[in-house]
Amino acid sequence: MNEAWTVLLGLLQRGDLYGYEIARAMEAEPFRGRLAMSMAQLYAELHRMAGEGLIERAGVEAAEGRPAREVYRITHAGRDALAQALRTAWAAVEPERTPLDIAALFVDALPEEDVVQALRERIRRLDEERSQLERRLAREAELARETGSAGVRSMVVDLLERMRLRVDAERQWTRDLVARVEAGAYGPPTPVSQPVRRASRRRATPGLGAFTFVLHSHLPYCRLAGQWPHGEEWIHEAAAETYIPLLNALYDLKEEGVDYRLTVSLTPVLTEQLADRDIQSHFMVYLAQEIEAAERDIPRFGEADQAHLEYLARYYSRFYRHVRQSFVERFGGDIVGAFRRLQDEGYVEIITSAATHGYLPLLSRDSSIYGQLRSGVESYRRHMGRSPRAIWLPECAYRPAYVDDDGTVRPALEEFLAPLGLTCFFAETHAIEGGRPVGKAAGDVAIGPYGSITRRYVLPVDESQELAQGGTTYQAYYVVGSSRGLTEPPVAVIGRNNRTGQQVWSADLGYPGEADYREFHKKDERSGLQYWRVTGPRVDLGDKDLYHPDWAADRVRDHARHFAGLVEQLVRAYHESTGAYGLVASNYDAELFGHWWFEGIDWIREVFRLLSESDIVDLVSASQFIDEREPEAVMAVPESSWGVGGTHWTWDNDATRWMWEPIHEAERRMERLVSLYPQAQGDLRLVLNQAARELLLLQSSDWPFLVTTGQADAYATERFTNHLERFRRLADLAEQGGGPEARAYAEGLYELDKVFAHIDYRWFAARQGTAE
C-alpha cells in the first residue's frame, strides 16, 4: 500500500472526515510537507480506496450556501490494511532517491565553478532547514511538556530529531563533495549517443497563406454560486466536455509529432476559477456523480433488454472515467498549468481578456476600463508566468475615441491596450470589411435608447496616414482610433473569417447539425445523459434516434476533410487574386466544442492532422502571424460587437437598461474611494481591494447577456444584485474608516468571491480622458 493511502487511512481511523477536512489535516503538523496532493488527486485517491473497500461513504454533510460534501469512514478491511502497512513500515529499510542522485552521475557535465556554486547553495538551504527543525523541535517539546502527552506528540519530537540528524549528515557530505570537486577528483565527461527525435512535419518553406483556430474560453463567475441548472456546474460541464478533452487532443497531437499552432483565450475570471481548490474538489465530485449515473443506467437498460442503450451507458462511464484519469494523472489536477505547458513549448498561444469580461464600450469611466484590463493582465502574469501579447476584447466589442458630453475626449480602446503590452485583438467580420453584419451579428435591430446618446467621434487619422478602405479579414491591420494616431507599440486587429465560421455556427451549413452527431437538447429523465442523435433538422425531440458513436466518428473524418479543403481553397484563392500571403482566422467559443457539439474536439484534432500535412497552409498563432507578417495598412475600426446588428443592443436594451446606471454610479464611487484613501494600509486596504473585486464582478457582460437571451435571467439578476449590494456595503464601511467589522465583512466576502488575489484598488484611480 502506498504512503498516501496509509496517511489517509490513518487520518480516517481517528474519525469520519469529509475531503476538505482531510486536506486541511494533511497541510498541518505533523503531515505538512509529507505529501504533495491537490484536491483533485485527493478525491481520486478516496474514490479508488472506496472501490477497494478500504473506506466507505458515511453520509452527506449539507450546509446553506455551498455544495453538499461527502463524509468518508474507514471500513474493517481498511483498518486491517492500515495495521499491516504500519507493521511493514516500522520494519522497512529502503534506499532514499533524490534528484541529487542523478545530478551526481553527471557532475562532470558542468563547469567546476557552477557545480561548486550550486553545492554551496545546497549547504545554505540545509543550514536554513536545520534552523527550522530546531525551532520546531523546541516548540513540539514545549507542547509535549505542557500537555503531558507521551503519545503522538512525543513521537513527533522523535521524528524531528531523526530529520535533524539526517540534515547534519547531508551537510557534512555536501561539504566533503565540494572539497573533492575543487580538488579535480572527477574526470572529463563520457560521450553518449544523441537521442533520436521524431521528425517535425513543419515545412522549411512557407505555404501560400496561414490558418489559426481562435478558441475563446469564458464562463461567468459562478464559484459557490449555485449548482444546477445555473451555477458552478457550468464550469464542471465545460471542464469535463471541453477543456480536458481539448487538452487530451492537443497533448496527443504533440506526442504524434504534429506541429500544430492554436490561439486560445482563457479569460481571467475563468482562469481564476479553474485554479481554485474548491472548484477542483467539486469537479471531482461532479465526475463521480456522472460515472455513478451512467453505471446506474447499465443494469436499468440491461434488465429492460435495451442493448444499445446499455452500450451507450457503458460508453459514458468510460468517457467520464477517462476524463477523471486525465485530469488527475495526466494533468495533475491543473487545467491552467496544462495549457501553460503547451504555451511554454510553443504549440499554443494563450491570450487574455478583461478581468471579468466587462463590456468595455459601455463603461462610463476610463478608470474601470483600465482596471478591467490591468486586473486581467496581472492575473495572466501570475498564472502563466509571462505577459500576454494579445487579447480577446469581451464580446468583440470595440469603440474608437469620442468626445463625451462634458467635452472630455475618451481614448480609443487600443490606447488602453498598448501600454499594457497588448498588441493584437480580434474583431467581427463586418467591422473589418465595412459591410452589413454577418454570422451571429446578422439582423436589423436598432441600438437601444441608452446608446442613442450622441457621440461626436474624433476624426481618427491625420492626413499623413493612409487608411484601408473596405478591409479584408485575410490581413491584419494596425488600428488608429483617435487623432493621436498610432499607439506605441502599435496595436493590430485580426478579423473573423466568416466563411469558415459558417461551417460551425450556421444552422443551415454547420457541421453540428449533421444527423449522426449527438443531440444536445434531449436528456434521459433519470440520469440526464444524452443517448440520442440529431437525426434530422426538424425532427421533434420525442422522435430522435439513438446515438451511434461509430457513425459520428465517420462524419468527423468527412467534415474535417471538408474543412481542411475549404481552408486550402480560401488561402489559394486569396493568394491567386492578390499575390499576398493571407490569414484565415477561424474564431469560436471554445465551449461549443465538446459541450454543445460533442464530437467537436475530435474534429479539431483531425483538422490539425490534415492541415499539418498541407503544402498550401501554414499553422500559426495570432501573434506569430503579426510577428512574421507585420501589417502594411492602417484601419479605423468602427464601433462594433458580435451582438445583434453588430451593435451594443444585446447588452443594452429595454430589459437590461436598469443595470447600467448602478454600474456607472459604482464606477464613480470607486474613484472617490481611491481619492479619499490613496495609500490605504491594513484593514482598510483589504476592504478597498474587496470593493474593487465586487466592482469587477458587477461589470461582467454575462449578466445583461443572460437577461437579454432569457437563458438564466432570474439567476443573472440575482447575481448582479448581490455584487451591487456587496460593493455598496464595502464602500459604506470604507467611507467610515474601516475597522474590525469592515475587515470581517471583507474577509467573509473574499471566501465567496475569491478572485484576483493580488488586486490593487488604486488601479481604479480617476483617469478620465487618459488611458495610461
The pLDDT tens digits of the residues spanning 385-405 come to 999 999 999 999 999 999 988
Whether the pLDDT of residue 36 is over 60: the answer is: yes
Q: How far apart are CA 519 and CA 514, in angstroms?
A: 10
CA 733 to chain CA centroid, nearest Å = 33
Q: What mean pLDDT, rounded, does the chain reach?
A: 86
Q: Which residue has the cell 496561414?
A: 210
CB of 251 within 8 A of CB of 326? Answer: no
DSSP state of 257: T
Predicted pLDDT at 186: 67
Distance CA 663, CA 670 (A): 11
Asked whether residue 360 is assigned to any structural domain, the reply reads: no
Whether 585 contacts 426, CB under 8 Å:
yes
Instruction: Give the Cα separation of 622 and 630 in Å (integer).
Output: 12
Are 668 and 649 members of one domain? no
Query: Do 559 and 609 sit in the same domain of this protein?
Result: yes
Residue 301 lies in a domain: yes
Percent above pLDDT 90 for the chain: 61
- The neighbouring-strand residues paired with 214 are 263, 587
Residue environment code for 209-243, b if the CB has 16+ CB neighbours within 10 A, otherwise e: bbbbbbbbbbbbbbbbbbbeebbbbbbbbbbbbbb
d(CA 56, CA 295): 18
Residue 154's CATH number: 1.10.287
CB distance 726 to 749 below 8 Å: yes
Distance CA 93, CA 601 (A): 49
* Cα–Cα distance for residue pair 250/330, rounded to 1 Å: 12
Angle value at C-alpha 29, between 24 and 30, nearest 5 degrees: 120
Residue whose C-alpha is closest to residue 372's, from 268, 464, 282:
268
Task: Establish if 379 belongs to a structural domain.
Answer: no
Residue scoring higher pLDDT (203 or 313): 313
Residue 364 lies in a domain: no
Least confident of 481-490, 524-533, 683-692, 723-732: 481-490
Q: Write the DSSP symbol of residue 483.
A: T
- Contacts of residue 12, Cβ cutoff 8 Å, sequence gap at least 6: 22, 55, 72, 73, 74, 78
Could you tell me the three cell numbers for 410?
475618451
pLDDT digits (tens, 9 = 90+) for 248-281: 999 999 999 999 999 999 999 999 999 999 999 9
DSSP 171-203: HHHHHHHHHHHHTT-S-PPPP-PPPPPPPP---
Instruction: Tell which residue, 543, 595, 530, has the closest CA to residue 293.
Output: 530
Helix axes 39-51, 3-12, angle to 10 degrees: 80
- State whether 680 and 647 are in the same domain: no
How many structural domains compose the chain?
A: 4
What percentage of the chain has pLDDT greater than the value 70? 88
Active site residues: 395, 589
Nearest alpha-carbon partner for 27 in 39, 16, 15: 39
- Give the residue from 602, 621, 653 where a domain finishes: 653
SS3 302: helix
What is the average per-residue pLDDT within 443-450? 28
* Same domain membership, residue 697 and residue 581: no
- Per the document, the length of the chain is 772
Angstrom distance (rounded) from CA 652 to CA 559: 38
What is the pTM (predicted TM-score) of this model? 0.74
- Comparing CA positions, the residue from 770, 760, 754, 762 lying closest to residue 277 is 754
Residue pair 323/244 in contact (Cβ under 8 Å)? The answer is: yes
314 domain-assigned: yes
Judgement on whether residues 597 and 497 belong to the same structural domain of the protein: yes
Domain interval for residue 161: 107-182
* Residues whose CB is less than 8 angstroms from the CB of residue 142 and which lie 6 or more positions away in sequence, other chains included: none
User: Is 157 a member of any domain?
Assistant: yes
Q: Which amino acid is at 457?
A: Y
217-236: average pLDDT? 86
Domain-terminating residue out of 615, 638, 653: 653
Residue 435 belongs to a domain with what CATH number? 3.20.110.10
Q: Do 276 and 174 fall within a single domain? A: no
Instruction: Supply 574's cell numbers.
Output: 486569396
Q: Are residues 417 and 556 in the same domain?
A: yes
Residues 430 and 471 in one domain: yes
Under DSSP, the state recorded for 231 is: S
Task: Tell me the pLDDT tens digit for each residue of 300-359.
Answer: 999 999 999 999 999 999 999 999 999 999 999 999 999 999 999 999 999 999 999 999
Cα angle vertex 33, ends 28, 35, to 5°?
100
Q: Does 623 score more than 90 pLDDT?
A: yes
CA–CA separation, 87 and 6 (whole Å): 11
Q: Map grid coordinates 447499465 to a residue.
A: 298
> Which range is least confidently modeled, 140-144, 347-351, 398-402, 419-423?
140-144
Verify that 61 and 131 share a domain, yes or no: no
Asked whether the beta carbons of 414 and 487 are under 8 A apart, the reply is yes
Based on its alpha-carbon atoms, the radius of gyration of the chain, rounded to whole angstroms, reads 29
Q: Output the pLDDT for position 168.
A: 85
C-alpha–C-alpha distance, residues 717 and 726, integer Å? 14
- Indicate whether 140 and 10 sit together in one domain: no
Rounded-to-integer distance, Cα 439 and Cα 6, Å: 57
640 and 510: one domain?
yes
512 cis-preceded (ω within 30 degrees of 0): no
- Residue 712, domain CATH: 1.20.1430.10
Q: Note whether 647 and 671 are same-domain residues.
A: no
In a domain, 378, yes or no: no
pLDDT higher for 323 or 139?
Answer: 323
| 357 in Cβ contact with 218 (< 8 Å) | yes
Report the distance separating Cα 393 and Cα 381, nearest Å. 18
Higher pLDDT, 760 or 502: 760
Q: What is the pLDDT of residues 610-619, one digit of tens each?
A: 999 999 999 9
Whole-angstrom Cα distance, residue 511 to residue 597? 9
Last residue of a domain, one of 597, 632, 653: 653
Cα 137 to chain centroid distance, Å, stands at 42
The set of residues, in sequence order, having a beta carbon less than 8 Å from that of 566 and lying 6+ positions away, is: 499, 500, 503
* Cβ atoms within 10 Å of 502's Cβ, excluding its own: 16
Judge whether 350 and 340 are in contact, CB under 8 Å.
yes
* 3 state SS of 45: helix
Which amino acid does the sequence have at 448?
A: G
Does 102 map to a domain?
Answer: no
Task: Identify the pLDDT of residue 134.
Answer: 82
Q: Left, alpha or beta for 346 (phi > 0: left; psi -120 to 50: alpha)? A: left
